[in-house]
């Protein structure tokens, strides 16, 4: 057996495509392709699933971040312009900072989970902080309630928390799903996500009526009413009806699909040899990615490639080291980001998706277990 892919999206249709094709065909036949009942229905369903007050569909997860950033600034009117985030999550929160004129401040991470260190976040927060972004990376969930408690105890009740949930649809902390834990949250429905569309799509969710109203205006030109712009920096960012219809079909299957992902992760965890450690959050995970840490990452990758196992690296460059951002403002935590820096050359992603066959999972386990450092 060779060439086990990191993901194979064709299998979504192969394993149950009739309802998806029917939903898409019915939507196309309706002649209503934007701002219609399919988007309205999915947003209501997803808000109920997350446990948030309202969901606003947008074109993609990056737009969701930028619009949510602007909504927080517009509504909360923070004194500062700094956004505390992490440097190891693909650059998406940093992009939103740069587009909105905010300054990223990079907190360090915890090695075992690769999630933000709450201690490091607290060390970054000060008079110039606008808000904090908690990225639920690789399917793991940041303990947002504990962060909120610690921020409040430190006198930072005015500092909002934005959850970046692009890699953690359905994960929970203390029985509550991510997206319902902070002031506002963003989701991507990129096809490979735990809940993925058949193209680009995203959402913003919040229980704060002012924030959702601001986000809803900003995602459609900043309108206060049709053709009347009530706030600056609006844009055109819509979740289209076909993608909304597809997401409505997939949403009821999300928890089952997440369970299959976690089962794959646990198989790898049991098979991993000495010197190879599975990344896993101490709170909860929905196993968006199966990521391992190894001091001999490149040799391990060559070994797996020879065994026919596809691999990737999420992510090979820290945000603060991106060459295109060299001249843009940023700040590191007072203690720097040593754990994030030490992790980059050790990260390796293995195949992990709900449609993996049993023989494929076993083959990856055998290939992983046969590695000798």
Same domain, 86 and 177: yes
Query: Cis omega (within 30 of 0) on the bond before 52?
Result: no
Helix axes 61-76, 92-100, angle to 10 degrees: 50
Tell me, what CATH number does 287's domain have? 3.90.1150.10
- What is the average pLDDT across 121-141? 98
Q: How far apart are CA 305 and CA 310, in angstroms?
A: 6
Same domain, 294 and 214: no
Say whether pLDDT at 2 is over 80: no
Structure confidence by residue, pLDDT tens digits, 45-67: 999 999 999 999 999 999 999 99
Sequence-distant (6+) residues with CB within 8 A of 355 are 8, 11, 12, 14, 15
Same domain, 15 and 56: yes
C-alpha distances (whole Å) from 225 to each of 216, 230, 263 are 11, 8, 49
Q: Which of 218, 236, 252 is the last residue of a domain?
A: 252
- What is the average pLDDT across 149-167? 98
Question: Domain for residue 2, yes or no?
Answer: no
Same domain, 210 and 343: no
- What is the average pLDDT across 20-36? 96
Q: How far apart are CA 242 and CA 174, in angstroms?
A: 34
What pLDDT is attached to residue 16? 84
Structure confidence by residue, pLDDT tens digits, 219-275: 999 999 999 999 999 999 999 999 999 999 999 999 999 999 999 999 999 999 999
Report which of 199, 201, 230 is spatially closest to residue 214, judged by C-alpha positions: 230
Sequence-distant (6+) residues with CB within 8 A of 67 are 58, 204, 215, 218, 219, 235, 237
Same domain, 270 and 199: no
Question: Domain for residue 4, yes or no?
Answer: no
Same domain, 96 and 150: yes
Q: How far is CA 286 from the centre of its chain?
A: 11
Same domain, 105 and 133: yes
Number of domains into which the chain is organized: 2
Say whether pLDDT at 293 is over 80: yes
Q: How far apart are CA 333 and CA 331, in angstroms?
A: 7
Other CB atoms within 10 A of residue 33 CB: 14
Q: Which of 252, 275, 292 is the last residue of a domain?
A: 252
Say whether pLDDT at 343 is over 60: yes
Say whether pLDDT at 300 is over 70: yes
Structure confidence by residue, pLDDT tens digits, 188-212: 999 999 999 999 999 999 999 999 9
Say whether pLDDT at 1 is over 60: no
Structure confidence by residue, pLDDT tens digits, 303-341: 999 999 999 999 999 999 999 999 999 999 999 999 999
Domain coverage including residue 30: 10-252
- What is the average pLDDT across 25-39? 96
Question: Domain for residue 247, yes or no?
Answer: yes
Q: How far is CA 156 from the centre of its chain?
A: 25
What pLDDT is attached to residue 109? 98
Say whether pLDDT at 357 is over 60: yes
Structure confidence by residue, pLDDT tens digits, 51-109: 999 999 999 999 999 999 999 999 999 999 999 999 999 999 999 999 999 999 999 99
3-state SS string over the chain? CCCECCCCCHHHHHCCCHHHHHHHHHHHHHCCCECCHHHHHHHHHHHHHHCCCEEEEECCHHHHHHHHHHHHHHHHCCCCCEEEECCCCCCHHHHHHHHHCCEEEECCECCCCCCECHHHHHHHCCCCEEEEEEECHHHECCCHHHHHHHHHHCCCCCCEEEEECCCCCCCEECCEECCCCCCEEEEECCCCCCCCCCCCCEEEEECCHHHHHHHHHHCECCEEECCEECCCCCCECCCEHHHHHHHHHHHHHHHHHHHHHHHHHHHHHHHCCCCEEECCCCCCECCCCEEEEECCHHHHHHHHHHCCECCECCCCCCHHHCHHHCCCCCEECCCCCHHHHHHHHHEEEECCCCCCCHHHHHHHHHHHHCCCC
Same domain, 183 and 281: no
Same domain, 240 and 108: yes
Same domain, 204 and 129: yes
Q: How far apart are CA 340 and CA 359, in angstroms?
A: 34
């Amino acid at each position: 057996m060779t060439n086990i892919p990191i993901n194979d999206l064709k299998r979504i249709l192969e394993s149950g495509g009739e309802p998806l094709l029917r939903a898409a065909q019915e939507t196309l036949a309706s002649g209503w392709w934007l701002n219609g009942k399919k988007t309205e229905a999915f947003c209501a369903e997803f808000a109920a699933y997350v446990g948030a007050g309202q969901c606003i569909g947008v074109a993609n997860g990056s737009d969701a971040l930028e619009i949510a950033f602007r909504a927080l600034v517009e509504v909360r009117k923070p004194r500062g312009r700094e956004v505390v985030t992490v440097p190891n999550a693909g650059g998406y929160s940093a992009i939103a900072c740069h587009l909105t004129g905010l300054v990223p401040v990079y907190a360090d991470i915890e090695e075992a989970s690769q999630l933000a260190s709450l201690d490091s976040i607290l060390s970054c927060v000060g008079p110039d902080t606008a808000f904090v972004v908690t990225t639920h990376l690789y399917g793991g969930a940041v303990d947002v309630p504990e962060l909120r408690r610690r921020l409040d105890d430190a006198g930072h009740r005015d500092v909002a928390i934005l959850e970046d949930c692009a890699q953690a649809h359905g994960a929970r902390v203390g029985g509550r799903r991510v997206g319902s834990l902070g002031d506002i949250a963003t989701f991507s429905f990129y096809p490979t996500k735990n809940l993925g569309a058949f193209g680009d799509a995203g959402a913003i969710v919040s229980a704060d009526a002012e924030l959702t109203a601001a986000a809803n205006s900003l995602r459609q030109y900043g309108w206060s009413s049709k053709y009347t712009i009530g706030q600056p920096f609006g844009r055109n960012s819509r979740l289209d009806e076909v993608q909304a219809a597809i997401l409505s079909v997939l949403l009821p299957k999300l928890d089952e699909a997440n369970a299959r992902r976690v089962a794959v992760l646990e198989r790898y965890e049991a098979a991993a040899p000495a010197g190879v450690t599975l990344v896993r959050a101490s709170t909860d995970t929905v196993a968006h990615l199966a990521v391992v840490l190894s001091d001999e990452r490149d040799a391990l990758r060559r070994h797996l490639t020879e065994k026919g196992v596809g691999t990737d690296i999420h992510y090979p460059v820290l945000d603060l080291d991106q060459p295109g951002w060299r001249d843009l403002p940023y700040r590191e935590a007072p203690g720097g980001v040593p754990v994030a820096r030490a992790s980059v050359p050790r990260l390796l992603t293995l195949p992990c998706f709900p449609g993996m066959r049993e023989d494929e999972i076993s083959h990856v386990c055998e290939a992983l277990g046969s590695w000798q450092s």
